[in-house]
Amino acid sequence: MLRIVTTALIVIGVIAFLAVDAYVLARVFRSRGSADDYGSIPVPGETTVTVPAGKLKLGYQESYKASSSGDSIDFGTPSALDVKVTSAAGEPVELKGPGFRGMGSSLSTGSGWSRALIGTAELPAGTYTITAGPELPDAVEPQVLIGK
């Protein structure tokens, strides 16, 4: 009897572990897929988007896979890049950078691309204009991704 209970607890533990892993992986891959849900703009460029209330994420992407050294990716948002979000009323929207007080980074690479999170904003539903510039001469097909 004790053997059956022990086996049942082990099976339940393994199933719970696999379920948690599946949830975490689904969240990670879903966030990659939603990076440009509302569109993208080339740098330099401008676009207008209509979004529901909630979080807006802006990311910077170039069309090459960045190299890595150790545990870090050798890529980031260029310091010259200036991204502005303004409401339909012309009021600027503050972007919160990644990490603690905007001092961190969120980088990822995929097949033929490298991305860095520019920032996020909690917005009421509405129409917003997103402007990115200036020209980035050393960048490979730079663009700003607009997502959830």
Q: Output the pLDDT for position 26.
A: 73
Q: Given this model, what pLDDT does residue 76 score?
A: 77
At 29 the pLDDT is 62
For the chain, list residues with pLDDT below 70. 27-34, 70-72, 99-105
The domain defined by 36-147 folds into Jelly Rolls (2.60.120)
Looking at residue 122, its pLDDT comes to 92
Q: What residue ranges do the domains of the chain occupy?
A: 1-33, 36-147
Cβ neighbours of residue 30 closer than 8 Å, sequence gap 6 or more: none
**b vs e for 36-64, b when ≥16 Cβ sit within 10 Å of the residue's Cβ?**
bebebbebeeebebebeeeebbbbbbbee
